[in-house]
Structure 1
Amino acid sequence: MSAVLEMRGISKSFPGIRALSDVDLVVDAGEVHAIVGENGAGKSTLMKILAGVYQPDEGAILLGGAPVRITGPIDARKRGIGMVYQELNLVPDLTVAENITLGATPARFGLVQRRRLHEEAAAVLDALDARISPTALLGSLTVSQQQIVEIAKAYAQRPSIIVLDEPTSSLSEHESQALFQVVRRMREDGIAIIYISHRLREVLDLADRVTVLRDGRQIETRDSAGLTAGEMIRLMVGRDLTDVFPKREVPIGETVLEVRGLSRQGAFEDVSFDVRAGEIVGLAGLVGAGRTEVARAIFGLDRAQAGIVRVNGAEVHARTPEQGVASGIAYVPEDRKRDGIIPSASIKDNISLPVLGRLSTGGWISRARETELATAQVTALGVSPPVIDRPVDTLSGGNQQKVVIAKWLAAQPRVLILDEPTRGVDVGAKADIHEIIGELAASGTAILLISSELPEVLAVSDRIFVLHEGSVSAELSRAEANETSVMHAATGEAAA
């Protein structure tokens, strides 16, 4: 194979931060080259240099062996570099075809050529073997289908290089398989694919080579053949993490949360389960099975039409999150940026939000008590840097997630619902968050865990309830639960 891309000796500094130091990256035509590393390792900075968003302080970029200077994102696109970011950049109210051709819509005399538009989009989808109708409204598609449309949009520009940044972060492992087929199809077409992901198993399954970054430096580039997840973790964090999802054995107490016959039309039906003190109960299922909808109804974000929720035997009628908190329930949402934090506010202001009443006297907030609370939570959860007046959006993803958890722990809940608690965070932060979860369970908190990462659910759960199309299809003990039994129940096979 020939090198399509060479990045040689790339270095980049920002005020007070050395983001990249002498990094090399070589990607061949028809290769899937994964870049892995903790948040803050330099992956995004390196890709922004490739995309022309940043200019390197030192180093050179070669495309097809020729040195180039990429002046900006438009220049990068003209040079055959396609970027697919973690956040979808599509228009829900337009059709699939309109999204794929966005920016290059076929027109004549100022009028859009609808037939040609659909033919061009259909040709792109066919080339990727993606079974999606070009006339479908984008907003009607599943998240995994929308992700494929995002890739098709980049593919339509006929790039020689495509960068995929966390393309499966919002997908279950089952749904990710369709996307992997698309990636393999592009590899067959000779496209060089740079693949960034925190999911190490999919990196090993998909990538030909892996480059590991740590603290802005290139640690190693290896063939994926023979490489293990454990070796990648050691290279990424500089120490051995024998278990990314450590399970802490704690005594299980009395039932704290009871859910009986919970129903909401079109979302879930007759859902029943319970969680005991010190117990971690996993709620598994494919995306769209109703896991998040059930959690939101328990907490009071959405209203259930039937069913009963009890906390410590007392019936709960949470119509709002405030009532949920008052009942002893806390909910860490799946989308931390949209629902979990106020990004521009400080760590201190975010942590104190649920308990302002407790920190106030006569309507006046005690700044001293607020500072004391935030400092204690930041210290207990290992938020880095531990500067409580720092805006949350300046933190890494893992530390933002710790702030979300700290905010709800300040409310001292009896039930903690964690919806995708480690989505989009690096392997070191995952271990930290699961250590926190283990300590909460040891303190007697009842924990309901939702995750699309099946290894995570299996590793930490004492029991697992599996949802299929809005209904509980199986209850599995820790001894009974494995990838096969959970997936059978999640796809409806166990019930059949």
Structure 2
Amino acid sequence: MSLLLEMKSITKEFPGVKALDNVSLTVETGEIHAICGENGAGKSTLMKVLSGVYPTGSYDGEIHFDGAHSTFKATSDSEAKGIIIIHQELALVPLLSVAENIFLGNERAKNGVMNWHETFDRTKGLLAKVGLSENPATLVDTLGVGKQQLVEIAKALSKDVRLLILDEPTAALSEADSTTLLDLMLELKRQGVTQIIISHKLNEIKRVADKITVIRDGASVSTLDLVQGEVSEDDIVRDMVGRDMSQRYPTRSPRAGDMLMEVSDWNVWHPDHGDRQVIEGAGFNVRAGEVVGIAGLMGAGRTELAMSLFGRSYGQKISGQIKIRGKDTVLKDVPAAIDAGLAYVTEDRKSLGLLLDDTIQRNTTLANLPKIATRGILDEGKEADIAEGYRKSLQIRTPSVQQIVGNLSGGNQQKVVLAKWLFTEPDVLILDEPTRGIDVGAKYEIYGLINDLSAHDKGVVMISSELPELLGMCDRIYVMNEGKIVGELSAQDASQERIMSMIVTN
């Protein structure tokens, strides 16, 4: 193979932070090269340097592409060379069609007049390449996330891509959609498309990647060759976190105490389609000191169940019973749920969990402002002290609580969401995909926090698409399928096979 990309001694600084420190990366033509590291290690920053998001002059070091020294003042410069990046947050316009999105900024037009026949014809060919049969006129917001990801790749292929960069491409995908995407990556490799993938999912990386470069604390620490030698996940993790992690999940001793919450015969209808029932007759309970898991495939109703319980923030025509500490309770809205001792950490931290353009300090206290107010006036000094306390206890990696949350890594953003809800002092904390899109080191810290909560007699309900995570953390696991709870397993009896068997036979 010939060398396609060489990044030499890349150093990138932000005020008070050195994000990249003398990082080097080489990628050969036709390979899939993975970049791994903890949240905040500098992976996405390095790719933004490569793609021109951070232009030449804003960093030190050199980029050589296809043997020539390259300077990119904007993403249009890198795209002209065939370097296309697909960010974790997809850049599609929801109310435009698939065809319009694919050729947005690259329109098939002459003298300002769109050639719709060519646009639709070429779109059909590109969609076929990524395994989609959708009509080019289909609006993007009617597609699932998995298909939207494939549309992004089709858009990249329309630009004669030579180096395709995928940043956490499967973070929000179901297992089936993830498999489809990984298969497509391998097919693109066979077609000669060089690819860089950033991912925390080590099993997926081992499946598709030829080499892995590990970045830690802004520096490149190793490049592992998966083709030439056997590389274990433990090898990758050790380089990522700088230490051996003999256990992925911290040990804990089950200590179920008093009943905290009981849900029975819970029914919920879709908020927009009143004839569609999404939760049917669901019931479960959680005791003090317990970590209770909810397993199920994408679309099983896990998030809908959690949100409907949390102050009816999802659904309509909701019925059923909730008991908190043995007393019938009506959680008519979110403030009532918070007052009753319930908290919900959403799976979508960026859209629903945080104010990304505000500070850590403001985000930390949002859910419990009365606690830092006197006669309706916020005590900003008290607010700062509280936020600083959570910054230290949760090890949020930032020098100040005045940092804008949108500038934090995914793992640190997740810790801010947790801080916000811990400040409400809940008895029951519902965690919806609490480790999605974060690295193994940050995951371990959040697992430790969950264990600490249970040790202080809190009840934790954990929703996760990762069955090993549920098996490693939970005392009991409820299994959901098509809006119903179809089974319950103790930690001793639970296995991936038994959970999947319950799903497919109910």
**Superposition TM-score tier, normalisation by shorter sequence:** over 0.9
- The structure 1 residue matched to 2:268, chosen from 248, 264, 267, is 264
1:441 aligned onto 2:454: yes
Name the SS for the 1:60 alignment partner.
Answer: strand
Q: Deviations 1:448-471 (Å, cap 9, x if unpaired)?
A: 111223322221122222222222
Q: Provide the rounded CA distance (Å) in 1 between the counterparts of 2:494 and 2:30.
A: 38
* Correspondence list, 1:327-406, <5 A: 327-385=340-398, 387-406=400-419
What's the counterpart of residue 102 of structure 2? 100
What's the counterpart of residue 248 of structure 1? 252
- 1:108 deviates by 4.5
Name the SS for the 1:19 alignment partner.
Answer: strand
What's the counterpart of residue 220 of structure 1? 222
Q: Provide the rounded CA distance (Å) in 2 between the counterparts of 1:87 and 1:464.
A: 31
- 1:205 deviates by 1.5
* Correspondence list, 1:128-139, <5 A: 128-139=130-141
What's the counterpart of residue 466 of structure 2? 453
8 A contact 1:252–1:276 mirrored in 2:
yes
Q: Provide the rounded CA distance (Å) in 2 between the counterparts of 1:132 and 1:469.
A: 25
What's the counterpart of residue 188 of structure 1? 190
8 A contact 2:40–2:408 mirrored in 1:
no
1:432 aligned onto 2:445: yes
- Check 1:485–1:398 CA distance in 2 against 1; reply closer, same or farther (3 A cut): same
Q: Deviations 1:352-375 (Å, cap 9, x if unpaired)?
A: 222222333333344454344333
- 1:396 deviates by 2.6
Structure 2 letter corresponding to 1:273: F
8 A contact 1:256–1:446 mirrored in 2:
yes
1:481 aligned onto 2:494: yes
8 A contact 2:130–2:150 mirrored in 1:
no
Structure 1 letter corresponding to 2:50: L
- Check 1:489–1:26 CA distance in 2 against 1; reply closer, same or farther (3 A cut): farther
What's the counterpart of residue 212 of structure 2? 210
What's the counterpart of residue 323 of structure 2? 310
- Check 1:352–1:18 CA distance in 2 against 1; reply closer, same or farther (3 A cut): closer
Name the SS for the 1:126 alignment partner.
Answer: helix
- When structure 1 is superposed on structure 2, of 161-170 and 473-482 the one drifting more is 473-482
- When structure 1 is superposed on structure 2, of 251-260 and 131-140 the one drifting more is 131-140
- 1:430 deviates by 1.2
Structure 1 letter corresponding to 2:314: D
- 1:385 deviates by 3.0
8 A contact 1:212–1:219 mirrored in 2:
yes
What's the counterpart of residue 234 of structure 1? 238
Q: Deviations 1:429-479 (Å, cap 9, x if unpaired)?
A: 111111101100111111111122332222112222222222223322223
8 A contact 2:129–2:154 mirrored in 1:
no
8 A contact 1:128–1:185 mirrored in 2:
no
- 1:60 deviates by 2.5
Q: Provide the rounded CA distance (Å) in 2 between the counterparts of 1:132 and 1:71.
A: 36
- When structure 1 is superposed on structure 2, of 106-115 and 63-72 the one drifting more is 106-115
Name the SS for the 1:358 alignment partner.
Answer: helix
What's the counterpart of residue 297 of structure 1? 308
- Check 1:131–1:303 CA distance in 2 against 1; reply closer, same or farther (3 A cut): closer
8 A contact 1:41–1:215 mirrored in 2:
yes
User: Normalising by the residue count of structure 1, what TM-score does the alignment of the two structures yield?
Assistant: 0.94
What's the counterpart of residue 51 of structure 2? 51
What's the counterpart of residue 273 of structure 2? none
Q: Deviations 1:8-53 (Å, cap 9, x if unpaired)?
A: 2323333433322332212122211000011221212211111012
Structure 2 letter corresponding to 1:296: M
1:169 aligned onto 2:171: yes
What's the counterpart of residue 23 of structure 1? 23
- 1:248 deviates by 1.7
- The structure 2 residue matched to 1:283, chosen from 281, 294, 308, is 294
- When structure 1 is superposed on structure 2, of 273-282 and 301-310 the one drifting more is 301-310
Q: Provide the rounded CA distance (Å) in 2 between the counterparts of 1:331 and 1:463.
A: 19
Instruction: Give the number of equivalent residue pairs.
Output: 493
- 1:149 deviates by 1.0
Name the SS for the 1:121 alignment partner.
Answer: helix
Name the SS for the 2:160 alignment partner.
Answer: coil
List runs of 5+ in structure 2 lacking aligned partners: 270-275
Q: Provide the rounded CA distance (Å) in 1 between the counterparts of 2:114 and 2:501.
A: 47
- Check 1:203–1:293 CA distance in 2 against 1; reply closer, same or farther (3 A cut): same
Name the SS for the 1:240 alignment partner.
Answer: coil
- Check 1:328–1:177 CA distance in 2 against 1; reply closer, same or farther (3 A cut): same
Name the SS for the 1:162 alignment partner.
Answer: strand
Structure 1 letter corresponding to 2:64: L
Q: Provide the rounded CA distance (Å) in 2 between the counterparts of 1:68 and 1:362.
A: 60
8 A contact 2:264–2:281 mirrored in 1:
yes
- The structure 1 residue matched to 2:67, chosen from 65, 73, 95, is 65
What's the counterpart of residue 75 of structure 1? 77
Q: Provide the rounded CA distance (Å) in 2 between the counterparts of 1:10 and 1:379.
A: 31
Name the SS for the 1:123 alignment partner.
Answer: helix
Structure 2 letter corresponding to 1:445: K
What's the counterpart of residue 13 of structure 1? 13
Name the SS for the 2:95 alignment partner.
Answer: coil
Structure 2 letter corresponding to 1:52: G
Structure 1 letter corresponding to 2:454: A
- Check 1:231–1:369 CA distance in 2 against 1; reply closer, same or farther (3 A cut): same
Q: Once superposed, what is the RMSD of the aligned Cα atoms?
A: 2.0
User: Normalising by the residue count of structure 2, what TM-score does the alignment of the two structures yield?
Assistant: 0.92
Q: Provide the rounded CA distance (Å) in 2 between the counterparts of 1:115 and 1:488.
A: 48
Name the SS for the 1:309 alignment partner.
Answer: strand
- Check 1:215–1:377 CA distance in 2 against 1; reply closer, same or farther (3 A cut): closer
Q: Deviations 1:260-309 (Å, cap 9, x if unpaired)?
A: 12222233222221112111111122222221111110101124522222
- When structure 1 is superposed on structure 2, of 471-480 and 270-279 the one drifting more is 471-480
Identity score, percent: 42
